[in-house]
Structure 1
Amino acid sequence: MRKKRTPRYYIGQIHLWLGLVSGLVVLIVSVTGCLFVFQKEITEALHPRWYYCVAPAGNPTTLPLAGLRQTAQAALGAGHPLSTIVAYREGDRTWEFMAYKENDTALTIFGTMEYYESVFLDPYTGKVTGFRDFKYDFFSVVKYLHWSLLLNTSYGQPIVAWSTVIFVLLLLTGLVLWWPKKWTKALRDRSFKIKWKASFRRVNYDLHNVPGFYSLIPALVIAITGLLFVWPPATPPPPAFSSTPGAVAASPLDQALQTSRDSLPSSVRFGVSPAFGKEGVIYVYAYRDGETYYGYDVLQFDQYSGRLLNHLQNAKKSRMQRLVEMNYDLHVGAIAGLTGKIIAFIASLICASLPVTGFLVWYLKKYKKKTPDVGAKIA
């Protein structure tokens, strides 16, 4: 008589086939996520001149932003107009001037990016301290392999997104399969410990089962925050428009940055976006530290007069806006500092191992003869 199949059996089949379908993508996304966690620390250690300078003694004053912008634009070339500027309050940080343009009709990410470059300037002397071409930069390639498998976002990102959805289902069905049928000491040990002296089959099974359980919560956080990049809730900043040119300030960009620095003394990093078009505004994003992105203020300035048009304070944002802004820092673990990044690194490493150990569990069970292992049963 055929043995009656339980719900656990069908959950196991769902877990198996979803894992086989999505395994390769999950492996690639997890490995690249693992590599990218410490990209900031590694890049700054390898290229300190890009990011750090020596501040003059006393109470140093930086050169006008408008002049630094001209120097950076000359270094990048007239054909690559600046799109973003990153300025710092700290005296020992260089300022970054970035140019980016995309072509959304290309198949690969390399064709999509017409150019993606940064030039770094000493804000006290105006000296160019470094140049970075993100298009073929190692960590940029890692990021876009993680983001869309190096394909155009419109092609590659759905593959990554739906594989991530499947991965969330794998984590949940895996928890059901992991759950001991009875909480006896033997079954608890099997669920929470790896039996290193057992056969290869058993060790591989434990490596799939045990670390998968311990990494469940951070893995779910990483997966869900990754999905929010693809399907984010709409939280646009309030619209503002520059007035018709009248009395033009000597340097609206400098005025915008100075107003932001003076009104937000606790902010240490400022992302400045020059205005585009006749009605465009200058955007300043004021961040509270040099690495994380959540909890920032958004200021909008008239491109002609430098007058403040709107200030979206972090304290007045909705809970949804704050959650969305926190997404990147949650995704890479930066929200909890170095400890959070280490957790994200280890969790990503475990996630990368799960498709491999899971495939071996299936392969060894289906195609290899069982080897005796006293007290251990994989099936």
Structure 2
Amino acid sequence: MLVKILRQCHLMIAAITAILLLCICISGALLVYGHELQRALAPSEWRVTPQTQTLRLSELVTEVEKHTGSHIRQIRLQDEPDLAWQVFLNDMTAVNLNPYTGEVIKHYRYSETFYGVIMLFHRWLLYKNDDGERPFKVFISIASLMLIIEILIGLWLWLKPKKPLKRLRINWKAKPKVLLYQLHITLGVICSLPLILIAFSGMTFHWKDATQAVVKTLTFSNITKVEAPKIEQTGPLVSVDKAYQTILDNLDGAKLQRLSFAHNNALMSGRVQLENEFFPHSMRWVDMNTGQLVKKFDAVDQSAATATWNFRYVFHVGSFGGHFTKILWLILTLLPVFLVISGGYFYVKRQRKGKKS
């Protein structure tokens, strides 16, 4: 009786979430190599000719603000010398900047780029109401949760019969229907854990408090909260070049990835990536009143919960192991599409068989 109920649940969950899961998985697959696709589609807008040295930061700031009429909020530097720097402005637009010449290559809204559209669809289904809220994002998390439940039910159904391990086999010479069934079970079981973790890591971006509680419970530790110092302007600020140089002098072997400018305060911050980090979570803060470093945070050697939480983004997108994990994640991201379609096929075949009998 329980098996029958779970089979029905397995079917119903797939049927209810099928369209949304297909959208999430396909858009997620595009995002795995989204930046590379975007650069390939319009290389002149995203790539530059490398030179021996970049311009001074103050010169770059002057060029951007003169071209756009808006102040800079953040600059995202690039590891590859032939990539344009991304500059985000206070008017919520962005520019691609040639750091060697100061040329503004492209002025745009993030939501209008190839990557931006796919990202907004993947995380929020594009919709934003008049209050700037994105109410549809909850459906993304619900679909991710349903995928986790669906996988767990599938694992239970696989484990219930005797000798479940013998069912994890693929006979490539079998009839197409039998081969499809074997692939459905085998791939679903083997890939269950990474799929659950990918789905859960996606939920962390929308259900932060609940997922943090899960992480803290499973790791028996707390997540370190990093707070920026509060620095008010007390007089003329030092030049951005001096503040920038202070951050560079205090990298301690890290790579500067993002530079945030003072906004309603006197604080410049640099987000840096240490050698043992997969993503830049370490910080450096400079008081623009004096040009001195006032605080730094190194994300390494933190609690297990903090390390797990900080790892969630690179795990979700599969970038932590270079092209190997990105290709693997591309396959994993599309796997639910195969499972939904093959499961639907088996259901239709059973229904037709039942009508004939």
Range class of TM-score, shorter chain:
0.7 to 0.9
- Structure-2 change in CA distance of 1:89 and 1:355 (3 Å): closer
- Structure-2 change in CA distance of 1:139 and 1:238 (3 Å): closer
Q: Which residue of 1 aligns with 2:60?
A: 68
Q: Which residue of 1 aligns with 2:193?
A: 217
Q: Is the 8 A contact 1:37 1:345 kept in 2?
A: yes
**Equivalent of 1:170 in 127, 137, 150:** 150
Runs of 4+ in 1 over 6 A off after TM superposition: none
Q: Which residue of 2 aligns with 1:357?
A: 342
Deviation at 1:171, TM superposition (A): 0.7
Secondary structure, in 3 states, of the residue corresponding to 2:314?
Answer: helix
Distance, in Å, in 1 between the alignment partners of 2:179 and 2:248 is 57
**Equivalent of 1:286 in 260, 272, 275:** 272
Secondary structure, in 3 states, of the residue corresponding to 1:344?
Answer: helix
What is the TM-score when the length of structure 1 is the normalising length?
A: 0.79
Distance, in Å, in 2 between the alignment partners of 1:287 and 1:257 is 16
Matched, 1:8 2:3: yes
Distance, in Å, in 1 between the alignment partners of 2:246 and 2:142 is 44
Matched, 1:304 2:298: no
Q: Which has the higher contact order (CA 8 A, sep 6+)?
A: 1
Q: Is the 8 A contact 1:89 1:269 kept in 2?
A: no
- Structure-2 change in CA distance of 1:326 and 1:136 (3 Å): same
Distance, in Å, in 1 between the alignment partners of 2:173 and 2:137 is 39
Secondary structure, in 3 states, of the residue corresponding to 1:359?
Answer: helix
- Structure-2 change in CA distance of 1:329 and 1:41 (3 Å): same
Q: Which residue of 2 aligns with 1:148?
A: 124
AA aligned to 2:273 is: Y
Matched, 1:191 2:168: yes
Distance, in Å, in 2 between the alignment partners of 1:322 and 1:280 is 30
Distance, in Å, in 2 between the alignment partners of 1:295 and 1:316 is 14
Structure 1: runs of 5 or more not aligned: 102-114, 373-379
Deviation at 1:121, TM superposition (A): 2.1
Deviation at 1:262, TM superposition (A): 2.3
What is the TM-score when the length of structure 2 is the normalising length?
A: 0.84
Q: Is the 8 A contact 1:51 1:93 kept in 2?
A: yes
Q: Is the 8 A contact 1:218 1:344 kept in 2?
A: no
Deviation at 1:179, TM superposition (A): 3.0
Q: Looking at CA atoms only, which structure, 1 or 2, has the larger radius of gyration?
A: 1
How many residue pairs align between the two structures?
339
Matches within 5 A, 1:13-162: 13-56=8-51, 60-75=52-67, 77-78=68-69, 80-88=70-78, 91-99=81-89, 115=92, 117-152=93-128, 154-162=134-142
Distance, in Å, in 2 between the alignment partners of 1:126 and 1:224 is 42
Deviation at 1:260, TM superposition (A): 2.1
Secondary structure, in 3 states, of the residue corresponding to 2:95?
Answer: strand
Identity %: 23
Structure 2: runs of 5 or more not aligned: 213-222
Distance, in Å, in 2 between the alignment partners of 1:90 and 1:161 is 34
Q: Which residue of 2 aligns with 1:112?
A: none
Matched, 1:179 2:166: no
Q: Which residue of 2 aligns with 1:239?
A: 228
Distance, in Å, in 2 between the alignment partners of 1:199 and 1:53 is 50
RMSD over equivalenced CA pairs, Å: 2.8
Q: Which residue of 1 aligns with 2:216?
A: none
- Structure-2 change in CA distance of 1:132 and 1:293 (3 Å): farther
**Equivalent of 2:243 in 232, 236, 256:** 256
Distance, in Å, in 2 between the alignment partners of 1:41 and 1:97 is 19
Q: Is the 8 A contact 2:272 2:282 kept in 1?
A: yes
Distance, in Å, in 2 between the alignment partners of 1:10 and 1:61 is 67
Distance, in Å, in 2 between the alignment partners of 1:89 and 1:144 is 25
Secondary structure, in 3 states, of the residue corresponding to 1:315?
Answer: coil
Over residues 95-139 of structure 1, what are the superposed CA-to-partner deviations in whole Å (9 max), with x where a residue is unaligned?
2212366xxxxxxxxxxxxx5x43222222212334454222222
**Equivalent of 1:332 in 305, 312, 317:** 317
Distance, in Å, in 2 between the alignment partners of 1:168 and 1:211 is 15
